[in-house]
């Protein structure tokens, strides 16, 4: 799958996730997809300082993005 198609899918997945994060006072910002197909994001607002943000990222965000976009290997917060 071309990276631009992957990026489009990732952005759609993030848009689907965003309302839940915003409801808790946070948000997520897409940064890029690297050569290893790792999605880099930034958790901002309340998500940036939340002690369970790593769990949210891995159990929620990463799972949803990887389910929706074949080829993505991981999602990390920078």
Q: b/e map of 26-56 (b: 16 or more CB within 10 Å)?
A: bbbebeebeeeeebebebeeebeebeebeeb
Instruction: Return the CATH number at 64.
Output: 3.30.300.130
Domain count, the chain: 1
pTM value surpassing 0.95: no
Per-residue CA distances from 54 to 4, 21, 50, 63, 65 (Å): 26, 13, 9, 13, 15
Task: Please check whether residue 10 is in contact with residue 28, taking contact to mean a CB–CB distance below 8 angstroms.
Answer: no
Q: Which structural domain range is residue 26 located in?
A: 3-77
- What does residue 12 show for φ and ψ, rounded to 5 degrees? -65, -40
Query: Per-residue pLDDT tens for 23-72?
Result: 989 999 999 999 999 999 999 988 788 788 888 888 889 999 999 999 99
């Amino acid at each position: 799958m071309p990276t631009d198609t992957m990026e489009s899918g990732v952005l759609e997945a993030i848009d689907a996730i965003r309302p839940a994060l915003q409801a808790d006072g946070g948000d997520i910002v897409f940064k890029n997809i690297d050569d290893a197909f790792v999605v880099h994001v930034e958790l901002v607002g309340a998500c940036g300082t939340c002690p369970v943000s790593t769990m949210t990222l891995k159990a929620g965000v990463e799972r949803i993005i990887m389910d929706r976009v074949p080829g993505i290997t991981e999602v990390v917060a920078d």
